[in-house]
Amino acid sequence: MTGYAASSGRRGNTGVLVTVKSVNHRFLDLHLRLPPELDPLETKVRRAVRDTVRRGHLDLTLVLERDAGVDAHIDRALVSAYMQAYNRLRADFGLTAEADLNSVLKVPGVLSFTPANLAEEESKEIESLVLETLSDALRKLDEMRGREACAIAAELTERAAEMRRGVEEIEQLRAGAQQLYLQRLRDRLRELIGEQVAPERLAQETAMLVDRSDVSEELLRMKSHLQQLDHLLQSEEAGDAGKRLDFLLQEMNREANTILSKTSGLAEAGTRITNIGLHLKAEIEKLREQAQNLQ
């Protein structure tokens, strides 16, 4: 699910800002940006995110503000190489100009700055502040994603109800379809072997056709899947609801395909069942798209 949250905290001369953005993704895809002095906390930060968020592409940024100053570092080896090259040029071309300190300091890599080293006690305080601020940002993100989940769940429930009506209509059409199967078989046998059809063979072939065309088991499983979907949407238990919905909808799509394959070519009833089956597949696809948004 999509969402955005930010949280900040401060203790003494240290401040922390945490921002997190989330968009839909099938799995948890965390992109983490930390300042160098917080690199030792990366494992703990990732664990805290995984404990709260199970799905989504997350961009998480931590900014550390300290009033303790910075340390300047000079790459003396680089300066030495620069001066040697400079002096060789002077000797080769008879130059009299002297090296300028400002020019030397502008050479890339000569001068760098890092935050002042943290004392052990200060490191612990910063760790506590970072994890506390991160927890608050993740809580806000979860609340925002939760509001979106409620809207998605309402839409999923409505689509499931539409599918249930389709399944019930197929059941009604199937209740009177056996006569259609029988008539279809009689016509086909007459085409093949003439008007005289042995009653025993007719009964045998009819039973086989009815068995191959019977979708009662598929309809029963489809209704069971719809009940499970309702239970999953209404349940407040923690878990990978999105992944469980993915699997459930995959099974529902399988049942819809079987219904379509078994009921093709059955005159008006078959045409209507086919239309309903295609509508069921369309609804399942819409459900699958929305299920990708759920955690």
Nearest to 225 by CA among 149, 276, 217: 217
Contacts of 29 (CB under 8 A, 6+ apart): 56, 57, 58
Least confident interval from 3-7, 38-42, 50-54, 187-191: 187-191
For residue 120, what pLDDT is reported?
Answer: 62
For residue 151, what pLDDT is reported?
Answer: 78
> What is the arrangement of strands in the sheet containing 28-33, beginning at the earlier edge strand?
3-11, 14-23, 56-66, 28-33
Number of H helices, E strands in the chain: 9, 6
Confidence of residue 182 (pLDDT cuts 50, 70, 90): low
Mean pLDDT score, 200-205: 66
Q: Tell me how long the chain is.
A: 295
pTM of the model: 0.53
Handedness of CA 89, 94, 98, 100 (dihedral sign): negative
Mean pLDDT score, 208-223: 76
For residue 24, what pLDDT is reported?
Answer: 75
Assess whether pLDDT exceeds 90 at residue 188.
no
What phi, psi does 218 have (nearest 5°)?
Answer: -65, -40
- What percent of the chain has a predicted confidence (pLDDT) above 70? 75
Confidence of residue 48 (pLDDT cuts 50, 70, 90): very high
Q: Mean pLDDT across the chain, nearest whole number?
A: 80
Confidence of residue 134 (pLDDT cuts 50, 70, 90): very high
Least confident interval from 19-33, 59-73, 137-151, 250-264: 59-73
Burial bucket for residue 126 (CB in 10 Å: 0-12, 13-18, 19+): buried
More confident residue, 213 or 14: 14
Q: Angle at CA 18, nearest 5°, toward 13 and 21?
A: 165
CA 37 to chain centre: 31
Rounded CA separation 171/4 (Å): 46
Nearest to 148 by CA among 274, 20, 22, 8: 22
